[in-house]
Structures are given as structure tokens and as C-alpha cells.
Structure 1
Amino acid sequence: MTPEEAAVPEVSMWAGGYTSDSGGSGIGITGLTVDAVTGEPAVVGTAVETPSPSFLLARGDVVYAVGEAADRVEAFRRGPGGSLRWAGGQPSGGSGPCHLHVVDDLLLTSHYGDGTVAVHPLADDGTIGEAVQLLGAEGSGPRPQQDGPHAHSALHVGDGIVLTADLGTDTVHVHVLRGGRLERVAAVALPAGTGPRHLALLDSGRVLLVGELDGTLHALEGEGTTWRVAASTPCAAEADARDSAAEVRVSADGRLAYVGLRGSDRIAVVGIGADGGLAPVAAFDCGGAMPRHHVLAGDRLHVANQASGTVTTFRLDPATGLPTAAPAVLAVPSPTYLLPVA
């Protein structure tokens, strides 16, 4: 390592976001460093230039990104200091890729635009093969955003069972992985207008589902391919008609779920009871505009605020899980996803 390389801070988080092809101000994936003492991030620089990497996923030394406007999935190999080098990519298979999930040696890509879920095989070195499956859906919902299927996320819950959330049809589809492909075997119907967005697996085996369009959080429970809604709650005790719910993340102790609410620009905190019940605890200002994504890291909550072009960092009280002070604010171009370096 040269003295110049040693002087560059090690990247500890990557930020994906929108570039000019999607109306954003970024140029690719931004490298951030997080101070070990204060927990506050700083910009290191551009890790790699790539169009609209709005969702990121890491597996080993490879970072995967959607190219949302270009209908692409890309692979980047990690280099010194957290730099990234392009390692190939493929057409995503559908329109408007918005979410990635890896199960064994398969990359699952959810497409908001046409509601499809694509399956790409991954080679031993992490490179992406051509899509081997494109699974569509039918249906719609009562809201303007629900003119047709809009696949928004996928989650492997164990034993080869994969759930996918479809915002457009108010459905969580249940699949079995067989022979490197998804076989759709069942579905969970959500209340009309829910807008299923993202999923989070709890230690109990239950799965949290955030409703983007109605600001709700649901707990799903299942055995094998049979799943149902076991509990539901508004994300915030005081609803705001402007809200569009985004990411859901769970505290390390499993007591709290954090949900971003775009519109009112809040982070809602939902309690998860020992019996699996859900109840709103608090909601606080995100410190920016349009909290698209957030991550928990120790006693810090980092929030990617897309519209304000900022990442805000909160110190959380370990007892309450709520902020102890105003956040630190860092300028990051059009951030939509934060990925800590493992």
C-alpha cells in the first residue's frame, strides 16, 4: 500500500442512488466512511460510476446493483479500501428493476415496472448469468398506483420457500425453489390498497411486511407454503395522508421495527411484542426529505433521504430505541440505498 492509499479512509458503507437518467444528481455508488467513535459518516468519494444503482446487495466480495432506468443488473468486485470494479452484468429481464435478493446461487430481481420477478444464476466467482426465468403476475388494486402488478421485493424464509411482495395487486406470493426456478404455489391477500413493499424476517420465523400505500405494518406467519396475516398495525399512531412507507428494519434485539415514511418525512417506530403483536411506539423527523432507505448499525440509525440529497445519522438510546439528539447531516447525491460493508 502506498502512502497515498493509506491516507484514504476505508469505505465502511456504500450509498446507491439515482443518476441523471432517473432525474438524480449522482454518478454511481458513493463510498462512505463511518467514524468508529462518533458513528457519523463522511464521503470518501465515488466507488464506481454506474447509472441509477437504486438498490444494492452484497454477497462475498461482490456488490450487486440494479440499473433501474436501464433495466440492468450489474456486478462489482470489491477492491482496496472499498473501491468497486465492474464485473459484468445482464439485462434484468423485466422493466424497472427495484429490488435484489440472493438465494444460494440465484439472484432474484423484482421489477416494479411490469411486475415480474427474474431469476439469474450466479457463477462461483459471483458473475451474473443470463436470466433463466421471468415470472409474471396478473391483477390490480383500487389505488392509482395499482394499475397492474408491481413486484417490489423477495425474501427467502428458509427451506426453499420464497415470498414476493406485489404492490400492485395487494398480494404476497409464496413460491418453492425447485431446480433453480420459482414455482408459485400460494398467495396471501392483503387488504385492498395496502401496497405490499418490503419484507423483513424475524428470529421467530415471522415476516414483517410494510404496506407502502396505507402506512401499515403486518406480521405474516407460516408453516411450509401456508402463510397468513397474524398481526397488523398502523406504522404511526398519527396518520398522515401524504405518507408513502418505504423501508422496514428490525433492531438487533427484535423489539422494534423502524419504517421510513415519505411524505411526512418521519421514521416510525413499531413495537414487536413477545406474543408477536405490533403497536406504534413513536415517530420522529428523519432530518431530511423522502426517507427512502435506512440501516441500523450498533446504536446508530443511518437514513438515506432521497429528495434532500442527505444521509442523516441518529444516535439511539439503547433502552428506548429512540434518538437522543438531532442527527448529523451529510450531503450525498440522491441517495436511495445504504449498504454497510461486511
Structure 2
Amino acid sequence: MDLLTFFIGSYTMFITPDFGGTGQGIYTVQLNTKTGELITLHTQNTLNPSYLTISNDNKFLYCNTEVDMGDNPKVQSYKIKEDFSLEFLNEQPVSGGYPCHIETYNDNILVASYGTGNVLQFPLNESKELMRSKKNYHHVGSSINEERQEGPHAHQVAIHPNKRDIYVCDLGIDTIKAYRFQDSELVPNQAKDILVTKGGGPRHMVFNKEGSLAYVLNELTGTVSVLKYENDMFKETSTHSALPEDYKGIPSGSAIRIHPEGTFLYTANRKLEAITIFNIKRDKLELIDYQYTRGDEVREFNITPDGKWLIACHQNSHDTVVYKIKSDGKLTETYRSKEILSPVCIVFPE
């Protein structure tokens, strides 16, 4: 079979006068793995599904509605039907502003809320529907960028390959907060909290397969922090710029992915509108190339599970771009579509 079916989330409304979108909700999309072409199969209307996660058995999809706390954000569950359309199951209120990231952990959904700097646990019932939130932890603190780091801003939930340690990148406090599960409850694991260089604003992180190294994209400086796992915790060992030396704009790192084979690291930067490609040399990164994406607001991208394709989303110009990943890690554009409006997130069934 030469078709890979996956899902794209979008912004469907503007949450500030200059930030948001005009998408239709959650798109079911098919990639032709021979030609790189995309076909939209279905759309599921919902409000600002800016991040998505799929259950381990590929039968259910979950998303947030990313809006301000005063607009009653929700976390939603859907059944993935045989034709890959979605059937709404239920929703629960999110006690937080601008829930921006969501992750599956066993029979739980974990949500990071940017606006209010908190992380929530939503258990699932036997039907994989959402139950009310069981735990809600608010981060505290600030950092040196007075405009963007006036308080905590939880941005991503990341599950370590050991399936025990859970990390939450917080852009506002330059700290990656550690959590674990105690029986059926999410609990803080403060001894494993990770500090990164002040002012960086950690946004998203990825791990190598062994879990011995992690890579953190810092939104506010456009740098990648390399974290090494030693003495039962991660420590920052180096930072690498993902921006060209002559770049004069404001950094705005948006996404980071590691190649399934662990050989290459990719980061996206808005304003630069490019994907930076690194070769992974143990705990060091070697710059390979900048792939300029020729769109506006390269918000997110993802790599197909077979490691052959990279698909990038542009929030403002509605470009969804398919790249073939070459053996040296560089990218070749093979297809570009403007059919999907305000795309901001891509998830593949595993």
C-alpha cells in the first residue's frame, strides 16, 4: 500500500488580532508515499485544535481547543473510524488558558496550558472517553525576558523513552519540569527538573532512542540545548544556534524533530521561515543545511515513521509542504498544497 493516512490540526479562529487562523478543524490527509502528493479525505469541525495526539492502539484521537481561559477551553476525544474520519465522543473543561500541547500516557491524557503555566491529567474510562481532570499543577517563577517570561508558560509534555519520566517544557521559567506517575496519579518529580540557559524559552524537546540524550528547542533564542543523562538526571551540556550567523530578525523557534534512525535533528524557525538540519554526532550537533520553506509562519512539521518524508505546515500562508528526506539528511521539495487552511500540527499513526 502506497498511502499513509494521518491528521493535521489547524487554527480556526484568531485568538489575538494577529494570531490564529481560518482552518476548518482537524483534517484527515493521505500521503502518496511514491509521489509525495497529498489528498484531503475528511474534515472534523472543532475550535482551534492546535495540537493532536493518537492513542497507542491508533483507534482514538484527542485534541485541545486552544482558547483563552475565559472562552472555556476543552479537551476532546474522538474515535478514528475505518475510513479515518472522526466520531466525536466527549469533552471535558480545561482549567487553564491556551492549552497548546497534548500527549497520551497509558490511559491518561496530559495537557500543557501556555497561558496559565499549568499541566493537567485527564484519565480515560474503559471506552477511552475523557474523565474530568484528576490533577492540575501550576508552575511558578519567571525569567530574564521581561516581555515573554513574566510568568510560567507550559508548552509541551514529553514522555521519556523509559515510559516513566515525564517532562514539561516551560518557556516562561527556563525550566523543564519533571513528573512521574505514582500509582494512577501524575506527581511532580522536582529532583529531576532541568535548567536551561536563561532567556532561551524551552518550547519542545525530543529524545534519542536510548533516552541518554535530549534536544530542546529554545523559542526565544533560536538555539538547541543538548541535554545529557547522567547520575539519574539530565543536564545541559551545550547549545547550538539554529539560525544563520547573519540573521538579524527576532528568533522564533517553533518545532523540533529527531529522525527515526537517530541520525539527524531538524528544527523550524518562524520569521526565518526555514528548517535547520543538523547531523547528530553523539552529544554534539553539526550544522548541515537550511531548508527555506517559502511560506509564512512555519509552525510545525513532522517526519513519517519510515523516515522518508518530512511534512511542514505554514500557519499564515496555508502552505503544507512535502519534502523527501535524502540519505545525507537534506530535503527536496516534492509537493506543495494550499488546500489545508492554517495548518499547525501533524500526527501520524504509529
Relative to the length of structure 1, the TM-score reads 0.91
Map 1:207-226 → 2, pairs under 5 A = 207-223=214-230, 226=233
CA, structure 1 residues 202+24, in 2 after alignment: closer, same or farther (shift >3 Å)?
same
Q: What is the letter of the counterpart of residue 202 of structure 1? A: N
Unaligned runs of 5+ in 1: 1-8
Q: After the TM superposition, which of the residue ranges 230-239 and 213-222 deviates more from structure 2?
A: 230-239
Q: 1:189-338 residue pairs with structure 2 within 5 A?
A: 189-205=195-211, 206-223=213-230, 226-238=233-245, 239-273=247-281, 275-297=282-304, 298-318=307-327, 320-325=328-333, 327-338=335-346
CA distance in 2, matches of 1:326, 1:106: 38
Query: Is the CA contact (8 Å cut-off) linking 2:21 and 2:316 kept in structure 1?
Result: no
Question: What's the counterpart of residue 185 of structure 1?
Answer: 190
Which of 64, 67, 81 matches 1:66?
A: 64
Give the superposition deviation at 1:156.
Answer: 2.1
Counterpart-to-counterpart distance in 1, 2:163 and 2:300:
28
Residue identity opposite 2:24 in structure 1: I
1:315 offset after TM fit, Å?
1.6
Checking the alignment, whether the CA contact within 8 Å between 1:234 and 1:280 is kept in structure 2 is no
Counterpart-to-counterpart distance in 2, 1:124 and 1:223: 38
Cα pair 1:236 1:282 within 8 Å, conserved = no
Matched position secondary structure for 2:83: helix
> Does structure 1 retain, via aligned residues, the 8 Å contact 2:255–2:299?
yes
CA distance in 1, matches of 2:49, 2:248: 30
Q: Distance in 1 between matches of 2:34 and 2:338?
A: 17
Post-superposition offset of 1:308: 0.6
> What letter is aligned with 1:153?
Q
For the 8 Å contact 1:11–1:44, the answer to whether it is kept is no
Amino acid at match of 1:201: F
Residue 140 of structure 1: aligned partner: 142
| Residues 130 and 224 of structure 1: CA distance in aligned 2, closer, same or farther (over 3 Å) | farther
**What is the match of residue 18 of structure 1?**
11
- Name which of 81, 103, 114 aligns with 1:112: 114
Amino acid at match of 1:87: L
Between 1:17-26 and 1:134-143, the stretch displaced more is 17-26
Instruction: Report how far residue 227 of structure 1 moved.
Output: 2.1
Over the residues paired in the alignment, what is the CA RMSD in angstroms?
A: 1.9
Please, which of 145, 168, 175 is the counterpart of residue 171 of structure 1? 175
Quickly say closer, same or farther: Cα 1:280–1:10, change in 2 above 3 A: closer
Match of 2:195, as an amino acid?
A
Q: Report how many aligned residue pairs link the two structures.
A: 331
Structure 2 match to 1:3? none
Name the structure 1 match of 2:30. Answer: 33
Matched, 1:88 2:96: no
Gapped runs of 5+ residues in structure 2? none
Choose 238-247 or 168-177, whichever is displaced more.
238-247
Render the CA deviation track for 1:148-181: whole Å, top value 9, x for unaligned.
Answer: 0000011221252211110001111122321312
- TM-score, normalised relative to structure 2: 0.89
Distance 1:192 1:80 in 2: 47
Tell whether the 8 Å contact from 1:287 to 1:312 is kept in structure 2 after alignment: no
2:45 aligned residue: 49
Within the candidate set 113, 121, 133, 1:131 is matched to 133
Separation in structure 2 between the aligned mates of residue 216 and residue 183 of structure 1, nearest angstrom: 27
CA displacement 1:236-286 (0-9 Å, x = unmatched): 34344333001111112211111110011000112210x321232211111
What is the alpha-carbon distance in structure 2 between the residues aligned to residue 58 and residue 110 of structure 1?
16
The code of the aligned residue for 1:276 comes to D
C-alpha distance in structure 2 between counterparts of 1:259 and 1:301, whole Å: 12
Answer yes or no: is the 8 Å Cα contact 1:14–1:339 preserved in 2.
yes
Deviations 1:180-233 (A, max 9, x none): 122232322211110000111211312211101101111222257522112321
Which whole-Å CA distance do the structure 2 matches of 1:127 and 1:221 have between them?
37
Shift of 1:325: 4.6
CA distance in 2, matches of 1:178, 1:230: 30
Aligned equivalents of 1:330, 1:224: Cα separation in 2: 48
